[in-house]
């Protein structure tokens, strides 16, 4: 093998190694993201079902309105009741009977991380105290 072809093959190898490393780290990031989603689903189910007081406290910090993007209905997997509309919005096929954790999403700041920033709700740090008008 000539020196030029050795250099070329070394370059090729290092390029392949870089690509393999990128794929590996993307797979690790995806796995971490999905693990966070799974944890979040369970956390929201438990909170919405058994911790009503906590829900009230959390929702006091929530602001904004739903833009009907449907991202929360695709956490971990796409819900079979999710319907996509022609205008790009979504709706729920069992809206009146949807589970509490669906009605209440998002309950806290960390829930937003599971929908990669597409949710239009946001959270404030502390509840705002309303002063009496004089
Ligand atoms: S039940 Fe309805 S609100 Fe809940 S995830 Fe499915 S489509 Fe969304
Ligand atoms: S992710 Fe947020 S804005 Fe989008 S449908 Fe769910 S609650 Fe509404």
Q: pLDDT for 67-110, tens place per residue? A: 999 999 999 999 999 999 999 999 999 999 999 999 999 999 99
> What is the tens place of the pLDDT at every residue in 54-76?
999 999 999 999 999 999 999 99
Instruction: Reply yes or no: is the peptide bond before residue 81 cis, omega within 30 of 0.
Output: no
Pair of tokens at residue 118: 């597409």
CA of residue 116 to ligand 2 center, whole Å: 11
Helix (H, G, I), strand (E, B) or coil at 87: coil
Q: What is the pLDDT of residue 70?
A: 97
Q: Is 66 in the pocket of ligand 1 (CB under 6 A)?
A: no
Across the range 30-49, mean pLDDT stands at 96
Give the number of whichever ligand sits closest to the CA of residue 62. Answer: 2
Residue in 75, 100, 105 to alter for ligand 2 test, most ligand atoms within 8 A of Cβ: 105
Domain boundaries, given as residue ranges, for the chain: 3-123
pTM score = 0.82
């Amino acid at each position: 093998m000539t020196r030029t072809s050795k250099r070329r093959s070394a370059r090729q190898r290092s390029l392949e190694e870089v690509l393999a490393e990128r794929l590996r780290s993307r797979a690790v990031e995806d796995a971490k993201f999905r693990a966070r989603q799974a944890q979040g689903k369970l956390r929201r189910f438990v909170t919405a079902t058994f911790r009503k007081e906590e829900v009230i406290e959390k929702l006091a910090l929530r602001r904004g309105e739903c833009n009907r993007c449907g991202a929360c209905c695709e956490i971990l997997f796409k819900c079979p009741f999710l319907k996509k509309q022609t205008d790009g919005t979504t709706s729920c096929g069992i809206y009146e009977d949807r589970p509490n954790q669906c009605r209440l999403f998002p309950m806290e700041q960390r829930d937003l991380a599971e929908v990669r920033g597409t949710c239009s709700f946001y959270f404030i740090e502390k509840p705002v105290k309303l002063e009496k008008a004089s």
